[in-house]
Amino acid sequence: MAVTRRRLAAPIDAVASVFADPRTYDGIVVGSRRIRWFDPNWPAVGSRFDHTIGFGPITILDHTEVLSEELPERLELAAGIRPLGVFRVEFRLAPDAGGTMVEVVEEPLSGPITTLWSPPADALTAKRNDVLLGRLDHLAKDRHRVRTLDRAPGPDAVQHA
């Protein structure tokens, strides 16, 4: 099982909003190329999105499904890369001094990958998920910045004393 943690600068609601939007996953998940379709009920349990993943000329068409959803604290997914298998990916979020501590736990769930999994595979997965957390940090900070701008009074706003 690969476990990766990082403190993100954005507050928990901004981080959770990234996970609640299936269109963002191709921008944060290493190897994801495109979200082809998503269930409008995402992230309800059982909802899913179809994705294309790959490296170089090799691509796989598969889907990711929500196993458990308790946002803004937790989201558990079954991420497929069939025929190799399916991974359980759990995101745990906790407020941390104005930011968010995010932990990613990933392990093989089914398929041939379960017999091939090893400590070196855990280490590579942890490195990949560290890149994911860096991308998530940038996107969540941008979302928070936009939300803050949306709430700020405009230049023509009248302030009352």
- Render pLDDT for 19-68 as a digit per residue (tens, 0 to 9): 999 999 999 999 999 999 999 999 999 999 999 998 889 999 999 999 99
CA distance 117 to 140: 31
Strand 58-70 relative to strand 2-8: parallel, antiparallel, unpaired? unpaired
Q: Please state, for a pLDDT cut of 70, what percent of the chain lies above it.
A: 93
Query: What average pLDDT score do residues 137-153 get?
Result: 84
Q: What is the pTM of this model?
A: 0.90
| Residue 123, CA distances (Å) to 2, 4, 127, 129, 150 in order | 7, 10, 6, 10, 40
Fold adopted by 2-150? Alpha-D-Glucose-1,6-Bisphosphate; Chain A, domain 4 (3.30.530)
